[in-house]
Amino acid sequence: MTRGRRRIIAVGASFAIASAASLTTAAVWPRHDGSPKAVAITTTTTRPPTTTTTRPPTTTTVALPSPDDAPGDPYANVPVRQIGTIEIPRIALVHPIFEGVWLTVVDHGPGHWPGTAMPGAAGNAVFAGHRVTHTHPFLNVDQLRNGDQVIFHMPNGDFTYAVTQVLVVDPNAVWITNPTRSPTITLFACHPKHSAAHRIVIKGSLVRAVKKGSAP
């Protein structure tokens, strides 16, 4: 577990940079070389012996998106770039989403954690948002229930996720950003409202993908 991995955004009434052991920073530096970070997951398949030969096990390594490290300055002057729109019918939310989790980005709306999967792709797409400040997009995420839809409208298509879990965790629960094999999402914000004592986390799995130019 890298030091930067243990520093995650605190979204809600206020933000503060904390130690590497807590989920309370507000930003992530992209890699200097621009290359994606990935976690290698190895799977081994054993083939049964035949009457003529016995084949050795074959090993396949799959690289999954993994969060970039966090910077020390959550207020870095970085470009604010919209990457799509998030829609959550249960709470009547339709809001632009942006790339990055610097405060200077998240103040405009939910920010995508650099290095994690993009909506619709294999892996864990992680987004942070404010609950009670600025445009407060995640104000009512505590009202979500299993099965509720979270829809991402992206340049390459529309991707619908079904909520699978709503939970409250301690600020040091870095496992919420762990890579996944299948397309999943993680939304998180401070909890309860007007406090950064905990994090509310929304987990979901992809249930429908309509790519641009394809039939529903």
**Two tokens at 111?**
């920010």
Q: What is the mean pLDDT of the chain?
A: 80
Q: What is the CATH number of domain 4-211?
A: 2.40.260.10
% the chain with pLDDT above 90 = 61
The pLDDT, as a whole number, for residue 74 is 85
Query: What is the residue extent of each domain of the chain?
Result: 4-211
Secondary structure of the chain as H, E, C letters? CCCHHHCCCCCCCCCCCCCCCCCCCCCCCCCCCCCCCEEEEEEEECCCCCCCCCCCCEEEEEEEECCCCCCCCCCCCCCCCEEEEEEEHHHCEEEEEEECCCHHHHCCCCEECCCCCCCCCCEEEEEECCCCCCCCCCCCHHHCCCCCEEEEEECCEEEEEEEEEEEEECCCCHHHHCCCCCEEEEEEEEECCCCCCEEEEEEEEEEEEEECCCCC
The pLDDT, as a whole number, for residue 67 is 81
The pLDDT, as a whole number, for residue 35 is 38
Q: What is the pTM of this model?
A: 0.76
Provide mean pLDDT across the span 83-100: 98
- CB 106, CB 128: distance < 8 Å: yes
Under the banding of pLDDT at 50, 70 and 90, the label for residue 61 is: low
Q: Is 22 left (phi over 0), alpha (psi -120 to 50) or beta?
A: beta
Q: Taking 80 as the threshold, does the pLDDT of residue 104 lie above it? A: yes
- CB 158, CB 143: distance < 8 Å: no
pLDDT tens-digit series, residues 109-161: 999 999 999 999 999 999 999 999 999 999 999 999 999 999 999 999 999 99
